[in-house]
């Protein structure tokens, strides 16, 4: 018989580690074509490699679809802009929007 309490709280360090699955994976990847809930892949030559992290374009699409942008006040589903001018393809989403998407509004 073991009487040790089993309800010990999980160490915060464990929970704060890498999430097993990025929320962006719920969206199809516009870059590599990975389906919903599938991991992104990169093509190098003939081989397809599974990426650990979603493609940047997928993160951008996810942030755009889920969050209001704190920088340009754009509603979910609409792309970021700077005073009406679309952001460059290299960084199409304001950084603050990624943060906003990761922490859903309470």
**Structure token pair of residue 57:** 């374009």
Nearer to Zn ion, 9 or 20 (CB): 20
Q: Which of 40, 59, 63, 67 binds Zn ion (CB under 5 A)?
A: 40
Q: How far is CA 21 from the centre of its chain?
A: 9
Q: Which of 63, 69, 100, 101 binds Zn ion (CB under 5 A)?
A: 69
Closest contact distance (angstroms) between CB of 30 and Zn ion is 8
Closest contact distance (angstroms) between CB of 56 and Zn ion is 9
**Structure token pair of residue 12:** 């915060």
Q: How far apart are CA 55 and CA 92, in angstroms?
A: 13
């Amino acid at each position: 018989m073991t009487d040790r309490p089993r309800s010990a709280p999980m160490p915060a360090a464990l929970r704060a580690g890498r999430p097993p699955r990025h929320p962006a994976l719920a969206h199809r990847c516009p870059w590599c074509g990975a389906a919903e809930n599938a991991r992104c892949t990169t093509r190098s030559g003939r081989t397809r490699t599974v990426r650990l992290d979603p493609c940047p374009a997928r993160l951008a699409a996810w942030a755009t679809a889920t969050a209001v942008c704190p920088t340009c006040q754009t509603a979910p589903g609409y792309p970021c802009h700077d005073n009406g001018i679309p952001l460059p393809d290299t960084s199409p989403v304001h950084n603050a929007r990624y943060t906003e998407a990761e922490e859903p509004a309470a």
